[in-house]
Structure 1
Amino acid sequence: MVQLVDNLLERVFPRIRRRPHLAYPLAIAIFVIAVCLRLALSRWLQGNFPFLTFSLAILLSSLVAGTGPAIVVAAGAILFSWYYYLPDIGWTLDITTIVPLTIFTILASFIIAIVHLLNRKVEGLMNERARSEALLQDSALGELHLEQLNVELRHRLKNTFAVIAGLVSQSARYSPDVRTFAQSLSGRLSAMGNAMDLVATRSFVGASLKELIEETLKPLVPPGDRRIEMEGPDTIIPGEVASALALTLHELGTNAIKYGAWSEEGGAVGVKWMLSKLDDDELSFQLDWDERGGPRVDAPERRGLGTTLIDNGFPSAQVEREFHETGVRCRIVAVLKQPTTRRTRGRGASTI
């Protein structure tokens, strides 16, 4: 019984009060019932309690339908009681009519005002409880999300240190001197750092493909107009793919500076990529690297670390390179798995 009353006061009645198209008809129905009861009990209430059923109707309509509908019920009760149950003098006013009507009006006003304050207090307490519950839920979800981020961060750091160790070892192996080693390693680590930064800004969900390509190539583009053209759609790619793609693009750009289109003033590079959906969580990815306006480029006589990173650095990708008189053309084709997403209370919180 207590639970039923709480449910009516906290949920049902506030919803009715917020809908005038329900509140006013309900108040009128309450008034009609009060009139019928008053007529049925007229033998017993005629002299002693002429406004009893109307007082109850005003109380009930204030509680259920709200202040506006209760005022309508009170006005109707005053008019009905004035005509039928006060001294039989029609619609004229005298002291025998004014006094009971005034008393009833004051009583009805007190009932409406008190119930109005009660309704506001109940709704205020409900809103406060809802805010407290939301804060508790956000706190719990925040702790869960933080723990997931910590797990993901540990995983990322472990993989990153493994990749860095491999880059250091291989760069030292293929570098003829310390200066060359430092330059090549610095550029590769910078490309990885940009990729990791883009992944971290999205709570380790992944990186924006368009931002990754732009941020990786921007430090490499020589000064001048129209040295690079980039075109393609955007999506979110996983962190491991972002690091591998950043290294691949860095090697292509470095080779273009040393031997290809960017080694001459008029040379330019076009980078275009396409995406097509395979299923709900997989995309077909194709990137074309096209150099033009540079010197004739021949296939390398030996495979260095840069060549290895271009051909094999992108996981599960097919890489095709062609060497033309104006520069290198490279096509990378791969299948990308899109990160899965979880949502928490209207805010996007995601993980791979």
Structure 2
Amino acid sequence: MVQVVDNLIERAFPRLRRKPQYAYPIAVAIFALAASTRLALSRWLENGTPFLTFFVAVLLTSLIAGTGPGLLVAAASLLFSWYFFFPGPGWLPLSTDTIVALASFTFFSLLIVAVVHLLNRKVEGLINERSRSEALLQDSALGEMQLEQLNGELRHRLKNTFAVIAGLISQSARYTRDVDKFAQVLAGRLSAMGNAMDLVATRSFIGASLSELIAETLKPLVPPGSTRFAMRGPDTIVPGDVASALALTLHELGTNAIKYGAWSNDRGAVSVTWTLVRLDNDDNRFELLWSERGGPAVTAPERRGLGTTLIDSGFPTAQVEREFNEDGVQCRLVAVLKQATTRRTRGRAPSIR
């Protein structure tokens, strides 16, 4: 029983008070019930108690339907009692006792409506406050869960990052004997990794935007000029390990373009285009084409260094093909990205020139 009353006061009545199309018909029904009850009891009740049922009607209407319907019932009760019971039936004569009785009913009806109005507002305020508190507690619990997940992901990323850095240092030292050159090469590779990790971190370690990753990785390497670099392809979100590997690959391609390829002169240009094709198993076939033009003629390197290794096998599960021709390097990278590793973003990335 207590639960039923609580549900009525906390849920049903507040909803009803916010819908006038239901509140006012209910007020009319309550008034009609009070009036018919008062007429039916006329033979047993003295004329000195004409408002007996109407006080109850004003109270119930104000509680159930709200302030406006409560005032409507109070006014209708006043007119009904005045016409039928003072001195009854009819409006006149209007004696001093009638005026006092009508004024008293008006005063106490308005007092009832005002008190119930304040109580209704207090109850709704407490309900809203409880709802906000419950929402805050739920958000806090979800926030703690997300924070714990982020901390776990951060630890995992840091562990992988340190492992990759250790491998880069050892491999760079193996292929580079000059200390200054070693520091310069290592700083560039670490900077590319740092940019990739920064993009991943800005999305709560979900992944990095592919178009942002390509643009930010190559931005420090592109020579001045609006026509030296262009990129085009659909945007998507790639996870941290893929982002780091792709950043290192692009960094090595860009560094080689500065040393030997299209960016080694004042007119060569590089374009990066990519496609994403959804396969039957909902995986994505990712194909990226690095294309140089306007540069000096290039040939395949005589020896295989760390840069070549990073380009050819740095990206996991990718097939890499490179061609060396008169305009520069053409590098095609093809990989299958699992469904869980990519998320399409709305629209297409704009061409950057």
**Kept after mapping to 2: 8 A contact 1:87/1:96:** no
User: 1:306 is matched by which residue type in structure 2?
Assistant: G
**Percent identity of the aligned residues?**
72
Identify the residue that residue 303 of structure 1 maps to in structure 2.
304
1:78 aligns with 2:84: no
Structure 1 stretch 288-297 or stretch 81-90: which is displaced more?
81-90
Compute the TM-score of the two structures, normalised by the length of structure 2. Answer: 0.92
**Kept after mapping to 1: 8 A contact 2:271/2:290:** yes
Shift of 1:167: 0.6
Identify the residue that residue 32 of structure 1 maps to in structure 2.
32
Residue 84 to residue 277, structure 1, CA distance change in 2 (3 Å): farther
Compute the TM-score of the two structures, normalised by the length of structure 1. Answer: 0.93
Residue 83 to residue 75, structure 1, CA distance change in 2 (3 Å): same
Shift of 1:265: 0.5
What are the superposed Cα offsets for residues 149-175 of structure 1, whole Å, 9 maximum, x if unpaired? 111111111111111111111111111
User: 1:27 is matched by which residue type in structure 2?
Assistant: A
Residue 4 to residue 324, structure 1, CA distance change in 2 (3 Å): same
1:132 aligns with 2:133: yes
Distance 1:256 1:272 in 2: 16
**Kept after mapping to 1: 8 A contact 2:239/2:341:** no
Residue 280 to residue 9, structure 1, CA distance change in 2 (3 Å): farther
Identify the residue that residue 262 of structure 1 maps to in structure 2.
263
Gaps of at least 5 residues in structure 2 are: 343-353
Distance 1:249 1:136 in 2: 45
Distance 1:31 1:189 in 2: 81
Shift of 1:281: 6.6
What are the superposed Cα offsets for residues 57-89 of structure 1, whole Å, 9 maximum, x if unpaired? 110010011001111111111111111122026
Identify the residue that residue 196 of structure 1 maps to in structure 2.
197
Distance 2:196 2:97 in 1: 90
Q: How many residues align?
A: 341
**Kept after mapping to 2: 8 A contact 1:237/1:338:** no
**Kept after mapping to 2: 8 A contact 1:27/1:61:** yes
Shift of 1:233: 2.2
What are the equivalent positions in structure 2 for 1:158-307 lying under 5 Å apart?
158-278=159-279, 282-307=283-308
Identify the residue that residue 344 of structure 1 maps to in structure 2.
none
Distance 1:133 1:311 in 2: 54
Identify the residue that residue 109 of structure 1 maps to in structure 2.
110
Q: Equivalent residue of 1:333, what SS?
A: strand
Gaps of at least 5 residues in structure 1 are: 342-352
User: 2:300 is matched by which residue type in structure 1?
Assistant: A
Distance 1:46 1:213 in 2: 92
Distance 1:234 1:118 in 2: 56
Shift of 1:275: 2.2
What are the superposed Cα offsets for residues 293-339 of structure 1, whole Å, 9 maximum, x if unpaired? 00111122222111111111111112221112101111112223465
Distance 1:228 1:167 in 2: 27
Distance 1:62 1:136 in 2: 34
**Kept after mapping to 2: 8 A contact 1:238/1:337:** no
Distance 2:113 2:279 in 1: 64
